[in-house]
Amino acid sequence: MCMCGASSVGLLVHMSPQMRERAQAGVWPRARPYNVAHRGASGFRPDHTAEGYQLAIDLGADFIECDVVLTKDLVPVCRHEPLVSGTTDADAKFPSLIKSIIIDGVNYTGVFTTDLTLAEVKTLRCRQPLADRDQSFNGLFAIPTLEEYIAIAKGANRTVGIYPETKHPTWHDSLPIVKAAQTTMSDIVLNVLKKHGYKGPVNSKAWSRQPAFIQSFEVGNLKYLSRKTCIPLVQLLSDWNTPIPDMPYMNYSAIMSEEGVKEMATYASGVGPSKGTLVRAKVGANVTANGAGLESSGLAERIRKNGMQAHPYTFRNEARYLSYGSFASAMDEFEFFFVKLGLEGAFTDYTGSLRQYFTMKAQEQGRLWNTGAVINRAGRPKPHNPKC
């Protein structure tokens, strides 16, 4: 199964003879790692908008990402946080709803989707949150629902997957509006995905027709989901010393260890680490030498050893976002991560740039290109649940 169109051809590397034969025969894994649109085409359009998702697809995305939050009437919508003050005109339209609350230990002030009905959310207009990016589309686009986002993926002229994230699920589940409905955020999201035909396990025929991953930063949430669905799950990882939201006395470094990654494999099919956790500076090396001073932290190898895929975030074109300030360009950073570390996918604000890189690799070699998309001994990424 390939979700990439004609630009998917490239070089075969790091593959067993059996995998090479499968790839040459057009059997999974064929082509290249996944190109995941981080919040849509967020380098060019405001985050999480229908227009941004469509542009990301046009530029070459294999998957589009929706960070899911809930409205007051429990409709799942796409927004990076329940707080919408910085990414919309919510403060101007609903000044009486501005308040301060604590979510996962962080104090936020502004207007929140959970205090707005869907009808009220639909009056908001999105804006670009990063001042050094194009501001000319501010005030033009509405917030899409999870169902509208799915319709964009399913309406593409090729297979495009979805990659929703359950955002602050424990916090959402603690709200009176969710408790009163006797449900959970996860169940609300799963009901929508089921309604639209999304299934698992990873790389099954059903999944290949409508690919989907569900991601979360919360360990408990993913373990709950693993008992409810065969859709492949991805454990998101923040920086080493960041507390895990639903395990506040434990940092992410604890689950990046050998034992921690092994435990992840009992409930997840993939891992979405912050890209900085995958590399480290070599002792005494000059880290500004276009990647020469960097080496693997060992996390990518631990993920692969346990039969999971690695889909790190976030690759951006701007120089200030390149790892350790080490790379001359985004293309050089791609080369290091995809060839040296053998990633299976990546989140990017610029899907066109990542597609350009994949096309360049194809033209270099004139053969199928694959960095060894994490395949376990059975020849495919491991389902998170043996029952799937």
pLDDT, tens only, 201-250: 888 889 989 999 999 999 999 999 999 999 999 999 998 888 888 776 67
* Top-confidence residue, 165 or 281: 165
Say which residues have a Cβ less than 8 Å from residue 50's Cβ, sequence separation at least 6. Answer: 141, 142, 144, 148, 149, 152
Q: Does 345 map to a domain?
A: yes
CA 99 to chain centre: 29
- The reply to whether omega before 29 is within 30° of 0 (cis) is yes
CA 74 to chain centre: 23
pLDDT, tens only, 32-57: 789 999 999 999 999 999 999 999 99
Per-residue pLDDT band for 339 (boundaries 50, 70, 90) equals confident
pTM, entire model: 0.88
Q: Does 52 map to a domain?
A: yes
Other residues' Cβ atoms within 10 Å of the Cβ of residue 135: 12
What is the domain range of residue 186? 5-70+143-365
CA atoms within 13 A on the CB side of 368: 24
Q: Does 136 map to a domain?
A: no
What is the rounded average pLDDT of the residues 156-161? Answer: 93
Q: Does 352 map to a domain?
A: yes
- Cβ-defined contacts of 17-26 (< 8 Å, 24+): 18/379, 19/370, 19/372, 19/375, 19/379, 22/379, 23/368, 23/370, 24/368
Q: Tell me what pLDDT residue 3 has.
A: 31
Q: Does 323 map to a domain?
A: yes
CATH code, domain carrying 62? 3.20.20.190
Strands 34-37 and 345-348: parallel
* Top-confidence residue, 378 or 161: 161
Q: Does 133 map to a domain?
A: no
Per-residue pLDDT band for 382 (boundaries 50, 70, 90) equals low
Q: How many structural domains does the chain have? A: 1
Q: Does 76 map to a domain?
A: no
Q: Does 226 map to a domain?
A: yes
